[in-house]
Amino acid sequence: MFNLLVVDDEDIAIRGIQQGIDWSDTEIGELFTAYDAEEAKELLLQHRIDILLSDIDMPNENGIELLRWVNENRPDAVTLFLTGHADFVYAQQALHLDCFDYLLKPIDHAQLKSCIAEAVQKVKEQRQFHEIKDTFRKVSEQWRQQRPALVERFWQDYIHYRLSVHPSRLEPVLDTYEIPLLANSFVHIIVVSIEQWREEWSARDEEIMTYAVKNAAAELLLGERAGTVVQEPNGMLYVIGYNPEPEADADLASRCSHFIEQCRTMLHCQLSCYAGSPVTLQEARSSIQSLLEQEKNNVTQGGAVLIEADWVKERSAGGPTEFPFTDWSSLLSLGKRTELAYRIDECFDRMLEQKADYTLLASFYFGFMNMLFGWLNERMLQASDVFAGNEWEDGQQSLKSVARLRAWTHRVCAMTAAYSSEKGKAVSHAVEKVQAYMKEHLHEDFSREQAAKLVYLNPAYLSRLFRKETGLTLTDYLVELRMGKARAELANTNHRISDIAVAVGYSNFSHFSQAFKRATGLSPQEYRKKHQKLI
């Protein structure tokens, strides 16, 4: 129901409206009355007035002045004038102040009732508009809060080949997420590799600290520049700057150095920045893969700024074309068929651009076969286990053209990835070797760098690989091993607890006791008392 306020300085006019109209069949719930503008203002402030029916010519303050006040203080009220003055100036002022209707006395009660009904409809429309506006405001606020996460998810989908780079597909998505780019816009990518934490963090602590590094990258590497920072589940960060100049950024190296130093002193971590050159959005995925390959092959420099262009020059000066078979091996293990198919197409597209000859195709073929059989050997599989029809043997017949070799590579990889997905993921030979190393050297101080040298991997890459395949950080896995051996020793031997601590790699007895209680909820003495067997 709606409330009506009638304002007139003549009592007979008010009573005529109150008593002369049957309000029972209308949507007017309560009818208020006032004899001047001052009294009307008080009622407007005290009650929700939906419709104001006012005279114009009143003492002290006229209806036009009252309407001005209503527009300022109660703008949702719909105002009608009912006056005996057919004054053009009044009518013009009322229209200018957005009066709903201008009625002249005397008026037929049925006509007035109809006008009030139209005013009620106007109030309903206003309320509906405000509800829609309020809903839009709330949705807009939710969108504003969630947009950073949605933009980051967009980039993750883009990087991992879950989105097409064709302009007709890509640009509508960019527009949806309000990313100020087109398919041919330039982006500038910096890969941030967290190489080492100076503290022993749990997996949860690492996630929190990595998020802090991400925020620091946004502040120090992007600053006021448009862009975003994407965090991968493995802890790798991609800093993507939007619309840079095609020329190199003269200030880039100093910003990266400052960022590395701030993270070292404030966030207790060592990291390196791998900076690419400005590329179009359609080329960005290839740029990221090149930077990741550079990061994986960097086994000599830590806490450094490495420029992709310099590395590409060194690599091109060093010998023939290299193929990303190491990455393909990892994708085969994970059963990621779609991403692997995109990578294969990218590789063969580059061969076409290079006008590949037979020598290049043969180099690809033998390198691919070496990777494939290495993958099978790591899992102690026979080729016949994966290829029931010996499809792998058809490769040499495919060397006659890029198209045939591409089709054969797709077929072999699809069958291998399907087999991997069906049989489940096993840890790689590198991770198995590190796990064995940790078990054999449990009593020694663990060195991630030494373990990485054992398997010829970058330490940061080893950390990500280990966590991806086991679900644990190197530190968490080592603690589990040490606590497992300590529990067995406490339950099954009478060795002194201090000797057990040293045997599992703790020279400080207090540190061992604290770590053991965190892992089991009991002190070493309590655990032995509870689980000691009769010997």
Start-to-end CA span in the chain (Å): 88
pLDDT for res 453: 85
The residue length of the chain stands at: 535
Domain 160-317: which topology?
Alpha-Beta Plaits (3.30.70)
CB atoms within 10 A of CB 456: 9
Q: Going residue by residue through the chain (535 aa), what tens digit of pLDDT does each one get?
A: 899 999 998 888 889 888 888 888 889 989 999 999 999 999 999 999 999 999 988 888 888 899 999 999 999 899 998 888 767 777 778 888 888 888 888 888 888 989 999 999 999 998 888 888 888 888 878 878 888 899 999 999 998 888 888 888 889 999 989 999 998 899 999 999 998 888 777 778 888 999 999 999 999 999 888 999 999 888 899 999 997 666 666 788 899 999 999 999 999 899 999 998 889 988 898 889 889 888 877 766 789 999 887 776 555 544 456 788 887 887 787 777 788 888 888 888 888 877 777 778 888 888 899 888 887 876 667 788 788 788 888 877 788 778 888 889 998 888 887 776 666 545 567 788 888 899 998 888 888 888 888 887 788 888 888 887 787 889 889 998 999 999 988 988 889 999 999 999 998 888 899 989 988 889 999 888 887 754 4
pLDDT given at position 209:
92
**Taking a C-beta distance cutoff of 8 angstroms, is the pair 489, 495 a contact?**
yes
The answer to whether 189 and 276 are in contact (CB under 8 A) is yes
Which three-class secondary structure state does DSSP give residue 426?
coil
Q: Show Cβ contacts of residue 255 under 8 Å, excluding neighbours closer than 6 positions.
A: 220, 221, 223
Q: What are the residue ranges spanned by the domains of the chain?
A: 2-128, 160-317, 320-426, 429-531
Distance CA 407, CA 404 (A): 5
State the chain's maximal CA–CA distance in angstroms. 115
In the prediction, which pLDDT does 183 show?
Answer: 87
Euclidean distance between CA atoms 225 and 245, whole angstroms? 12
Instruction: Please answer whether residues 237 and 192 qualify as being in contact, where contact means their C-beta atoms are separated by less than 8 angstroms.
Output: yes
Helix ranges (DSSP H) in 160-232: 167-176, 203-217
CATH code assigned to 429-531: 1.10.10.60
Burial 459-488 (b: 16+ CB within 10 A, else e): bbbbbbbbbbbbeebbbbbbbebbbebbbe
pTM reported for the whole predicted model: 0.52
Residue 25 φ/ψ, nearest 5 degrees: -100, 20
Predicted pLDDT of residue 458: 81
What class, spelled out in words, does domain 2-128 have in CATH?
Answer: alpha beta
